[in-house]
């Protein structure tokens, strides 16, 4: 595989392409909160160009270092419904506890301002399998024949976290049969049912590229009934999943992957049986999508939106959380332990 060097105005990154249309391995960078600004700028530029970046040998990163690095690229946000693993922003995906994300999706698209990027680090891996595949949704749009581009640009899709989650359990019958796990997952992950209308073609706010915005949370097309709605989603989603538009990453412990969540979908391959697989993710606050006509995404449900990520700016949430923590500490020092539940679903 050849090695290419991307040059920015201020610094160089040594990159190796990971596939033809998406993905690059970044060499010689030690991730953390102390990275110089020019390196951060180069990483951001590479991220927008390649959509997903891979960094090997980042074992030094702990949750705090993960968050410190994340803050150089944006503002961390928690999951809208699932409690964090560290009481802050870390979303843990533990295959032994949760449902596995073996479907094509963009993280958290059931809220309007879904995350702009995700940063995932691998802590424990199965002896074989457990890789992740990313797809380039800008390339998928570009692959569409002209009449389908016109059609896609005219459509709006409803994304929800309250879909037939039981169907997604079908590939793991041992979990589907476990009523306790299935109920717990539903209670936590769908503790608030969100419905959001997004354009099917989102204009990327940084690159200006047009991206197909679909994935597993997209459940129907506005104004199109039942089977036709599903057929339209399947038609466009097929372009996203074309192998030519994907990169598959075989994880090693210590790897970090960063993806542009506004320009990709991903799929966690569930081929490792009962072996453990533990990864931790921090997502960065996103912005309100717009279609090619400039019309923004909008929340349809619930009628009284909770104050959560994707609906309220991260800075406001952080201020509120700090104040709430102060009040809680004053009220009850040493009260009951928090219960943390993880769900492997972005």
Query: Which residues, at least 6 apart from 103, have a Cβ–Cβ distance to it below 8 Å?
Result: 168, 215, 216, 267
Q: In the complex, which residue's CB is closest to Fe ion? A: 346
Binding mask 317-346 for Fe ion (x = CB under 5 A): -----------------------------x
Q: Note whether 142 and 209 are within 8 A (CB).
A: no
Q: Which is nearer to Fe ion, 144 or 255 (CB)?
A: 255
285 contributes a contact to Fe ion by CB under 5 A: no
Active site residue 75: no
| Per annotation, catalytic residue among 21, 50, 105, 204 | 105
Cβ 26 to Fe ion, closest distance in Å?
A: 21
Active site residue 345: no
Query: Which residues, at least 6 apart from 14, have a Cβ–Cβ distance to it below 8 Å?
Result: 3, 5, 26, 27, 28
User: Which residues pair with residue 115 across a beta bridge?
Assistant: none
Cβ 250 to Fe ion, closest distance in Å?
A: 17
Element housing 317 (H / E): helix 314-331
| Per annotation, catalytic residue among 266, 277, 280, 345 | 266
| Interface segment toward Fe ion; rule CB under 5 A; list 103-111, 121-129, 194-202, 240-248 | 103-111
**DSSP calls for 234-276:** HHHHHHHH-GGGEEEE---TT-EEEEETTSEEEEE---STT--
| Per annotation, catalytic residue among 107, 255, 260, 344 | 107
Active site residue 105: yes
Query: Which residues, at least 6 apart from 312, have a Cβ–Cβ distance to it below 8 Å?
Result: none
Task: Give yes or no for a cis peptide into 298 (omega within 30° of 0).
Answer: no
Active site residue 107: yes
Question: CA of 4: how far to CAs of 7, 28, 29, 170, 258, in Å?
Answer: 10, 14, 15, 42, 19
23 contributes a contact to Fe ion by CB under 5 A: no
107 contributes a contact to Fe ion by CB under 5 A: yes
Q: Which is nearer to Fe ion, 42 or 101 (CB)?
A: 101
| Interface segment toward Fe ion; rule CB under 5 A; list 98-106, 161-169, 249-257, 271-279 | 98-106
Write out the residues near Fe ion by the rule CB under 5 A: 101, 107, 346
* Catalytically annotated residues: 105, 107, 266, 281
């Amino acid at each position: 595989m050849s090695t290419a060097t991307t040059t920015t105005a201020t610094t160089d990154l040594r990159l190796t392409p990971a596939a033809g249309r998406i993905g690059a391995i970044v060499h010689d960078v030690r991730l953390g909160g102390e990275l110089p600004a020019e390196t951060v700028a180069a990483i951001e530029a590479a991220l927008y160009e390649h959509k997903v970046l891979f960094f090997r040998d980042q074992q030094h990163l702990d949750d705090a270092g993960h968050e410190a690095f994340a803050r150089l690229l944006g503002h961390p946000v928690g999951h809208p419904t699932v409690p964090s693993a560290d009481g802050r922003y870390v979303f843990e995906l533990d295959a032994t506890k949760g449902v596995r994300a073996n479907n094509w999706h963009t993280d958290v698209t059931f809220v309007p301002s879904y995350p702009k990027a995700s940063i995932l680090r691998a802590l424990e891996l199965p002896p074989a399998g457990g890789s992740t595949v990313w797809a380039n949704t800008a390339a998928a749009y570009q692959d569409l024949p002209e009449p389908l581009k016109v059609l896609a640009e005219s459509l709006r899709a409803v994304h929800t976290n309250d879909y037939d989650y039981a169907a997604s359990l079908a590939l793991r019958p041992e979990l589907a049969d476990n009523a306790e796990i299935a109920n717990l997952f539903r209670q936590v992950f769908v503790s608030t049912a969100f419905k959001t209308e997004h354009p099917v073609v989102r204009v990327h706010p940084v690159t200006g590229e047009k991206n197909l915005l679909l994935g597993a949370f997209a459940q129907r097309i506005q104004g199109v009934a039942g089977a036709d709605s599903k057929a339209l989603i399947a038609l466009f989603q097929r372009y996203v999943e074309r192998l030519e538009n994907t990169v598959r990453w075989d994880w090693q412990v210590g790897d970090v992957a960063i993806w542009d969540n506004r320009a990709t979908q991903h799929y966690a391959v569930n081929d490792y049986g009962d072996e453990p697989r533990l990864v931790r993710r921090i997502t960065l606050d996103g912005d309100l999508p717009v279609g090619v006509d400039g019309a923004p995404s909008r929340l349809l449900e619930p009628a009284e939106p909770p104050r959560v990520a994707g609906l309220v700016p991260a800075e406001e949430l952080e201020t509120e959380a700090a104040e709430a923590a102060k009040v809680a500490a004053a009220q009850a020092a040493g009260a009951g332990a928090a219960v943390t539940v993880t769900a492997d679903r972005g």
